[in-house]
Amino acid sequence: PYNTSTGLSHFTGCRSNCLSGPPDGPGIQFITRVFEKCARLGCYDVFSELIQPPFSTLLPPEPLPVFKYTLEEDEFVTPLPECTVATQLLEAIKEKKEKKTFEHLTSILDTLSSVQPELENDRDKLCDAKVSLLTHCVLHVSSKTISHSFMALHKFRPLFLELAKTDETKLAVLKALAEFYTNNPQVHAIILDKLIRSQVVDAMVVVNWLFLPTTVQDFHKQYVWDILESTVQKTNAAYHSATKELAETKDKLTKVSHLDEVAMGSEERQELEAKIDELEDRVDESEKMQKDVYLSLCQRFISLLGDHLARCDQQGSDYESPWFQSTLDNFRQLLIKNYTQLGQYTTLLESLAFTPNVDYRVLEIFQQFQAVL
């Protein structure tokens, strides 16, 4: 019944009931996702004028960034204590001299504890606050276009790497990104992809962010699954690229070894052997990351779905909510779509994730996955 090829004015047979379901139900979610994709294609103002009530209630918010450290005060919003520091930080970010700017930025960020005394005795929270403020300000200054954002992230990458060294501070970067682009999931996903490629964050940190309560409540939204799929693909690609390059280098070394040593020289062999050692380390690292990502995803999904089922059974309520069905289906798709990579970890998954005490309704997914192998 939801045929987008006929346009939004031809929901024949569905106009009367497509808005009557729950907010995360299939009817409303279908229309919401269509509106989100249409809004990406052109001017938001023009598109929003085309949608009339009652469907206008499902329009996505205007895709404007949300900078929470503004000093502008109104009757509804009181400026945050960090706003004065943010103002100084914005001015420093706009400076042209890069080395001086980095030193100046660090000194400004160090003043956060003076406006938030509660952070002075909590080093971890202070580091998270610094990273969050820096992320917001860099994104705010560069929010004009994607190109501006990429240039700013590249320019201040050394500072991000210096401040965001732990999983907690890397997670603070992703939290700030999600806050800033909460109304623009498309740009959110693009910037997150850039942060992974520039190694400011890694795949495991993205997994941690995906299962934060604030993100879990958005599991019925497509952007979450787009980010998950992109992260898994990058993890797979990193391992595939490393193994391919290692095989090619070993093949080249074999050919060199069969040639005359005087003609080719032992120096080239030594260089290839050194490169092979480096590539073997890279393969081990990428394989470990891939294994950790898949194992963590499976364990998190099992725990999340299991808690939902246990809660519904205890309350005597229907467990097959739109959220549950969406999460279950996307989990199943993750396993089956990546069966080639996951196949090598079947024994590990059986022993550490899909154990006999897992709810049978979740365990069925693993059985379906095994049938594909």
Instruction: Phi first, then psi: give them for residue 353, nearest 5 degrees.
Output: -130, -65
More confident residue, 108 or 263: 108
Which pLDDT score is estimated for 98? Answer: 59
Q: Which residues contact 338 (CB under 8 A, 6 or more apart)?
A: 232, 236, 294
Residue of 221, 152, 216 lying closest to 186 (CA atoms) = 221
The answer to whether residue 254 scores a pLDDT higher than 80 is yes
Given this model, what pLDDT does residue 120 score? 79
Does residue 11 have a pLDDT over 60?
no
Mean pLDDT of 267-283: 90
For residue 42, what are its two tokens?
């052109």
User: Strand (E) positions, the chain?
Assistant: none
Q: How confident is the model at residue 73 (pLDDT cuts 50, 70, 90)?
A: low
Distances (CA, A) of 192 to 123, 147, 164, 230, 372: 26, 14, 15, 10, 32
pLDDT reading at 9 higher than 70: no
Average pLDDT, the chain: 88
Query: Which sign, positive or negative, has the C-alpha torsion 111, 112, 114, 119?
Result: negative
Residue 86 pLDDT class (50, 70, 90 cuts): very high
pLDDT digits (tens, 9 = 90+) for 283-335: 999 999 999 999 999 999 999 999 999 999 999 999 998 899 989 999 999 99
Amino acid present at 360: Y
- At 164, the pLDDT band (50, 70, 90 cuts) reads very high
Contact predicate 223/189, CB 8 Å: yes
Confidence grade of residue 18 (pLDDT, cut at 50, 70, 90) = confident
Q: What is the mean pLDDT of residues 348-365?
A: 95
Most confident of 15-24, 33-42, 309-318: 309-318
Measure Cα distances from 325 to 87, 193, 249, 307 in Å. Answer: 45, 27, 46, 14
Axis-axis angle for helices 322-337, 360-372 (nearest 10): 30
Residue 14 has pLDDT above 90, yes or no: no
The CA–CA distances, whole Å, from 26 to 48, 56, 322, 365 equal: 22, 17, 7, 21
Domains of the chain, each with CATH number or no CATH: 4-58 (no CATH), 83-201 (1.25.40.180), 226-372 (1.25.40.180)
CA distance 307 to 300: 11
Greater confidence, 76 or 255?
Answer: 255
pLDDT band for 275, please (50, 70, 90 cuts): very high
Q: How many residues does the chain have?
A: 373
HEC string of 296-346 equals HHHHHHHHHHHHHHHHHHHHCCCCCCHHHHHHHHHHHHHHHHCHHHHHHHH
Q: How many Cβ atoms are within 10 Å of 39's Cβ, its own excluded?
A: 21
pLDDT in the model for residue 162: 95
pLDDT above 90 for 340: yes
Are the CB atoms for 359 and 311 separated by under 8 Å?
A: no
For 90-102, write each residue's pLDDT tens digit: 999 988 665 667 8
* Percent above pLDDT 90 for the chain: 64
Q: Cα-flanking dihedrals φ and ψ of residue 259, to 5°?
A: -90, 165
Query: What pLDDT shows up at residue 373?
Result: 82
Taking 70 as the threshold, does the pLDDT of residue 3 lie above it? no
CA distance 237 to 233: 6
pTM for this entry = 0.88
pLDDT at 265: 57
Residue with tokens 């909510």: 321
The type of residue at 134 is L
Of 256 and 353, the one with more pLDDT? 353
**Distance linking the first and last C-alpha atoms of the chain:** 35
Crossing angle of helices 222-257 and 266-315, in 10° steps, is 150
